[in-house]
């Protein structure tokens, strides 16, 4: 608890708030007028050696190349699939970006509407046109299990510092879990355990801005699963 009080209080800013007028570099989610840096989004003020910026508290996921995402096939073309990855734009998955050799017009034999896929963002061009790929190790169609959606800004909380939070959830529930940067999370395991993992992650999604989260999530899982941690360690 001492550690917590030692940390400077976080400062929430709204669009138009002045972040700096002493020449700091403008960071993410800011704009500059006459040398002053302003917040361009609702979020937490973040000052570091690179400058001053804002960490968003909400909003839509905007894909970045290299992001691992989970999406749902929402439409099928003759040479691609349209994937909903919860971004402002649809993400086409071209037949050349899947691990199968797909004949023209034969797309629905491999992936169909409603299927869920683990993908990587290949590129986002200047016009925000997105390309996704399934051609990388571990990328695949996801079957069975559970899906949870949380705001993408909470993904870092679910992962935790160097993966500590997600590792704890995996250990205590003995579930397999894939986290999409877009806030879509896939969980597979024993029914009761998977349900507890889903609830734990939803809890983080709802309360990530409150204190001592790791402890509370741990307490929650141990209460729901008294035998937790005895398996898979």
Partner 1 sequence: MSKKIISEIRRDHIFNLLKEGKRSDGRKLDDFREIKFETGIIESADGSAVVEMGKTKVTAGVKIIPGTPFGDTPNLGVLTTGAELIPLAHPDFESGPPSPESIELARVVDRGIRESGMVDMSKLCIKEGEEVWMCFLDLYAINYDGNLFDAFNLASVLALKTAIIPNEQYGKGEDVPLPITCLPISVTSAKLGSSLILDPNFDEENISSARLTVTTDDDGNFRAMQKGGQGSITLDELSHCLDMAVAKGEEIRKLIG
Partner 2 sequence: MSGTTDMILVNKDGKRIDGRTPDEHRDIKIEAGVLANADGSAYVEIGKNKVLAAVYGPRECHPRHLQDPTKAIIQCKYNMQTYSVSDRKRPGTDRRSVEISKITAEALEKVVLTELYPRASIDVYIEILQANAGTRCAGLTAASVALADAGIPMRDIVPAIAAGKADGYVLLDLNKEEDNFGQADVPMAIVPSTNEIVLLQMDGNMTREEFDKAIEMGVRGCHDVYKLQKEALLNRYSDGGDSDE
Distances (CA, A) of 62 to 29, 56, 88, 123, 174: 13, 12, 7, 12, 31
The correct pick among 8, 127, 138, 144 for binding partner 1 (CB under 8 A) is 144
Site residues (CB under 8 A) for partner 1, limited to 23-82:
72, 74
Question: Quick check: 30 and 38 in contact, CB under 8 A?
Answer: yes
Contacted entry of partner 2, partner 1, none for residue 220, CB cut-off 5 to 8 Å set by kind: none
- Among residues 147, 159, 208, 213, which is the contact residue for partner 1, using CB under 8 A? 147
| Residue 143 C-beta: closest distance to partner 2, Å | 28
Q: Is 146 near partner 1 (CB under 8 A)? A: yes
Rg of the Cα trace of the chain? 20
DSSP for 110-163 reads: T--TT-EEEEEEEEE-TT--EEEE--STT-EEE-SSEEEE--GGGHHHHH-GGG
Binding residues for partner 2 restricted to 106-145, rule: CB under 8 A: 127-128
- From residue 174 to residue 213, what is the string marking binding to partner 1 with x (rule CB under 8 A)? ------------x---------------------------
Q: Residue 24: what are its φ and ψ, rounded to 5°?
A: -65, 155
Question: Which partner from the list partner 1, partner 2, none does 116 bind, CB cut-off 5 to 8 Å by kind?
Answer: partner 1
- Told to check if 156 binds partner 2 by CB under 8 A, we report yes
38 binds partner 2 (CB under 8 A): yes
Neighbours of 211 (CB within 10 A): 9
160 binds partner 2 (CB under 8 A): yes
CA-wise closest residue to 142 among 180, 103, 97, 108: 180
Q: What is the distance, to the nearest Å, from the Cα of residue 94 to the centroid of all Cα atoms in its chain?
A: 23
Site string for partner 1, 79-118 (x = CB under 8 A): ----------------------------------xxxx--
- Which residues contact partner 1 (rule: CB under 8 A)? 72, 74, 113-116, 142-147, 186
């Amino acid at each position: 608890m001492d550690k917590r009080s030692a940390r400077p209080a976080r400062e929430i800013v709204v669009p138009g708030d002045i972040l700096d007028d002493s020449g700091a570099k403008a960071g993410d989610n800011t704009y500059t007028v006459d040398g002053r840096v302003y917040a361009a989004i609702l979020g937490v003020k973040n000052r570091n050696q690179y400058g001053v910026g804002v960490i968003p508290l909400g909003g839509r996921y905007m894909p970045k190349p290299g992001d691992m995402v989970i999406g749902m096939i929402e439409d099928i073309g003759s040479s691609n699939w349209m994937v909903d990855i919860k971004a402002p734009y649809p993400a086409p998955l071209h037949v050349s970006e899947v691990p199968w050799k797909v004949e023209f017009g034969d797309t629905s034999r491999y992936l169909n509407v409603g299927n869920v896929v683990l993908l990587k963002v290949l590129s986002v061009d200047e016009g925000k046109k997105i390309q996704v790929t399934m051609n990388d190790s571990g990328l695949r169609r996801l079957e069975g299990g559970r899906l949870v959606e949380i705001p993408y800004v909470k993904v870092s909380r679910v992962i935790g510092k160097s993966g500590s939070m997600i590792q704890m959830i995996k250990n205590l529930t003995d579930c397999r879990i894939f986290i999409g940067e877009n806030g879509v999370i896939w969980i597979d395991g024993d029914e009761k355990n998977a349900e507890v993992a889903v609830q734990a992650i939803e809890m983080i999604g709802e309360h990530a801005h409150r204190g001592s989260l790791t402890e509370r999530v741990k307490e929650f899982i141990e209460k729901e699963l008294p035998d937790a941690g005895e398996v898979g360690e």
